[in-house]
Amino acid sequence: MKSFLINVFAATVCVILFLASTIRAETDPLPSWNDGPTKKAITDFVTIVTTKGGPDFVKPNERIATFDNDGTLWTEKPVYTHAFALLDRVKEQIATDQTLKDRQPYKSIAAKDKEYFAALYENQELDTLADELVALPFGGMTTEEYADWNRAWLKKWKHPKFGVGVQSLTYQPMVELIRYLEVNEFKVFIFTADEGTFLRLVSQELYGLPPDRVYGSHVRTDYLAEGDKAGLVRSYRVDYINNWAGKPRLIEQVIGARPIFAAGNSNGDEHMLQWTARQERRSMSLLVHHTDAEREYAYDTHTDKVLPLAKKENWTVVDMKNDWKTIFPSK
């Protein structure tokens, strides 16, 4: 009888422990994050700014969160995803017109010569660089034609290392973070250095964020009306480069308010993160540090300014290898 009661008690304890762990799993807002100081910093921040009556309470309509995209929400190596599309478009154009090989930037792209573009960058000719890499390949297309071409490309493109499409290249922990913020009445935006028009094609599918929550570098468009039709045609000039100090300026222009949460991963996000951190209200700046060569990539490229600043100003730095249980969505 005694042994029977012991067995019943042991079984009851096991059931209770199982139910407790199940409840924790169901209520954990960030299940792909390892428990530790980074995860705790995030949940503590959200709790503090959403607790009514607390000294750092922020009204729901003022809870603005901004995220970078490349390297922050999806993988950016070996190059930006959009860069693959741009290169494929250039190849398509050259195949149609071989004379393009005789003029820049097609000449350097066809010859895989990086020196031409490196010189533009070193000479701070960033507008020319952006025009020739981002605007020129799709210049003259209507906005509908641009969307159709890139949607078709996105359906067939596979990452050279992982062999999967964009749907499998998002960072699952960061998608969970977006959902967690939204549940707590944050209004979430993406401000990418890449062309915003490109990311808008998949932002709803990947992140649950509609096109009007996505902004980035922008190619100028011209209005054209012919006969009974009217539309917008892409020009050959980049209208706005959304990087570095350009990010806070565009955020202010679009939202009209300073975010209390911002996430980025590179020098291009430094100003957005610093602008968010240096305010009187409680805020949080999150820097994603790529440290996992086995599951993704490990690199410090373009972090020589922002990473030391993050450590100096006590921003929250995400160590991908140690802070994330998983990186990509489960298949």
Is the bond into 31 cis (omega within 30 degrees of 0)?
Answer: no
Q: What pLDDT is recorded for position 122?
A: 77
Q: What one-letter code names the amino acid at 112?
A: K
Residue 96: CB atoms within 10 A of its CB come to 8
pLDDT band of residue 111 (cuts 50, 70, 90) is very high
Q: Which two tokens stand for residue 266?
A: 């590179």
Q: Is residue 15 predicted with pLDDT exceeding 50?
A: no
List all residues 6 or more positions away from 272 whose beta carbon is below 8 Å from its beta carbon. 66, 68, 191, 247, 248, 251, 259, 262, 264
pLDDT digits (tens, 9 = 90+) for 159-170: 999 999 999 999
The dotted CATH code for 37-76+154-219+241-323 is 3.40.50.1000
Among 167, 150, 145, 148, CA closest to 158: 167
State the pTM of this model. 0.92
Domain range list for the chain: 37-76+154-219+241-323
Tell me what pLDDT residue 26 has. 59
Q: Let me know if 183 is exposed, middle or buried by CB neighbors in 10 A (0-12, 13-18, 19+).
A: exposed
And the tokens for 227?
């006969």
Q: What is the rounded average pLDDT of the residues 128-149?
A: 97
Amino acid at 330: S
Q: Are 64 and 255 in contact (CB under 8 A)?
A: yes
For the residues 214-238, what does the mean pLDDT come to?
A: 97
Note the pLDDT of residue 124. 80
Give the mean pLDDT of 164-188. 98
pLDDT tens per residue across span 215-226? 999 999 999 999
